[in-house]
Amino acid sequence: HNSIPLLWSRSQIITVASVYSQVSVITLLGSIRHYNSLQYSAMPLIFYYMDISPPARSVDLVIHELGLTVQYKIVNLLKDEHLDPDFLKVNPLHTIPAIEDNGFVLWGSQPINTYLVSKYRKEDSLYPKNLQNRAIVDQRLHYSNDIFYVLKDTARPLIRAGKKPSPEQLAKIKDIQENVEKLLTGQRFIAGDTLTVADHSYITYLDILEVLSPTEDKFPMTKQWFARCKETMKDFEKVNKNGADLLISMVKESLSNG
Q: Distance from CA of residue 186 to its chain's centroid?
A: 27
Find out whether 180 and 202 touch, Cβ atoms under 8 Å.
yes
Find out whether 165 and 252 touch, Cβ atoms under 8 Å.
no
Q: If you ran DSSP here, which 8-state letter would residue 233 be given? A: S
Q: Checking DSSP bridges between strand 45-49 and strand 98-101, what pairing results, if any? A: antiparallel
* 48: three-class secondary structure by DSSP: strand
Candidate list 53, 144, 201, 254, residue with the active-site label: 53
Q: If you ran DSSP here, which 8-state letter would residue 84 be given? A: S
51: left (phi over 0), alpha (psi -120 to 50) or beta: alpha
Find out whether 197 and 62 touch, Cβ atoms under 8 Å.
yes
Q: Measured between alpha carbons, how far is 123 from 74 in angstroms, rounded to an integer?
A: 30
Active site residue 31: no
Residue 41 dihedral angles phi and psi, to the nearest 5°:
-75, -20
* 98: three-class secondary structure by DSSP: strand
Find out whether 148 and 54 touch, Cβ atoms under 8 Å.
yes
- Give every CB contact of residue 185 below 8 A, 6+ residues apart in sequence: 221
Q: Measured between alpha carbons, how far is 121 from 103 in angstroms, rounded to an integer?
A: 20
Catalytic positions are 53
